Amino acid sequence: MKMQVECTIPKDDGSLATFVGFRVQHDNARGPMKGGIRYHPEVEPDEVNALAQLMTWKTAVANIPYGGAKGGIGCDPAKLSVSELERLTRVFTQKIHDLIGVQTDVPAPDMGTGPQTMAWILDEYSKFHGHSPAVVTGKPIELGGSLGRDAATGRGVLFATEALLKEHGMSLSGQRLVIQGFGNVGSWAAKLISEKGGKVVAVSDITGAIKNSNGLDIPSLLKYSEQHQGVKGFHGGEAIDPNSILVEDCDVLVPAALGGVINRENANEIKAKFVVEAANHPTDPEADEILKKKGVVILPDIFANSGGVTVSYFEWVQNIQGFMWDEEKVNNELKTYMTKGFKDVKEMCKTHNCDLRMGAFTLAVNRVARATTLRGWEA
């Protein structure tokens, strides 16, 4: 089901502006649909469609009772004032309020949106349906957001990496890691991994890249990057070419930035033994084949970065119960889900003698197909 709406708002200067919004709902065999809303100049239907499908498989691998959806508005949030963004969000919500709902479709933040956007959607939706905190996740804590949500994707990457290494008889302690991307996911992953004894030897973001073979001082780097809006110029390491970050010598490579960064141009140069896909679709299919031949083990994005949607599920559960958990419970439950998730994917790989990506997709498709059949729908 695809919905396209026109959202016309008064700008601050009194002129009118029209933006196109989308909501794509892919599958609800296993439960209400779930997926982000992004504000980006290049939001287009095909991409939204692909991302909605990806959410169906991601929630199925994580074994949380959701299907996939995705949405967005074609706009540049950097060029809109806060009050313009609020008006746009409220008009968009007015157009889709009958499409979303606690038991039908639960949006979340994505590129260009955040807790404040979710607060506006919640407020506007509640005007029509009564107070409904569970209609969106990723909310501010004060309005029913979950503790631990901010760190969830990065913490999930930690748990996924630990499970993967354990399978190979290794622990995180002393492993050398390279992290591409130092936004929410990359910075939390770096912090939590270094706390567990992992050595983060190089990181990069849009400003630049730095390396220290003895391991970067992550707490200092986090402080520095917050003050200077990036890692460039950090004194605890040497500056390197950001394009070479993926081919630095390390044990575990964590792409946590954009899609398509590992491709046939650089796949042969990759020195890591393990790649943990914290970003969505960082490895293109050609690179996948090259790395497989080299014996590199790839932990696929639909499992590796599912910590965020899992804690979104916990937020929804807490809102429905009207009872909030402490952060320790959130983190413990996340660890349980991620550890079990890895075991389920691994079982599938053994059954079908395939790699982790194929195992994860097979597990997901099986779960969705089974639910579809049990409900009496034609698969």
Residues 65, 30: contact at Cβ < 8 Å?
yes
End-to-end distance of the chain based on CA atoms, in angstroms? 16
- 336 annotated ligand binder: no
Give the SS3 label for residue 269.
helix
* Residue among 33, 37, 38 at smallest CA distance from 68: 33
Q: State the virtual CA torsion across 345, 361, 137, 276 in degrees, nearest 10.
A: 60
**At a CB cut-off of 8 Å and minimum separation 6, what does 359 contact?**
345, 346, 348, 349, 352
- In the block, residue with structure tokens 């009958």: 98
Catalytic residue among 70, 191, 199, 211: 70
Q: At what angle do helices 307-321 and 327-352 cross, to 10 degrees?
A: 130
Tokens found for residue 47? 């991409």
3-state helix, strand, coil in the chain (%, to 5): 45, 20, 35
Q: Is 58 annotated as a binding residue?
A: yes
| Residue 271 backbone dihedrals phi, psi, to 5 degrees | -105, -10
Tokens of 99: 């499409």
Cβ contact 123:97 at 8 Å: no
Q: Is 126 annotated as a binding residue?
A: no
Q: Does residue 329 have a known ligand-binding role?
A: no
Contact assessment for residue 29 and residue 67, using Cβ atoms and an 8 Å cutoff: yes
Alpha-helix residue ranges (DSSP H) falling in 114-272: 115-129, 152-167, 184-195, 218-228
Contact 7, 41 (CB under 8 A): no
* 188-to-26, 27, 155, 277, 289 alpha-carbon distances in Å: 30, 31, 7, 15, 30
- Determine whether the annotation assigns residue 34 to a binding site: yes
Contact 157, 187 (CB under 8 A): no
Q: Is 271 a catalytic residue?
A: no
Distances (CA, A) of 100 to 3, 132, 292, 326: 11, 11, 41, 28
Positions at the binding site for NAD(+)? 153, 184
Point out the annotated binding site for substrate.
34, 58, 312
Binding residues: 34, 58, 153, 184, 312
Q: Which residues are catalytic?
A: 70
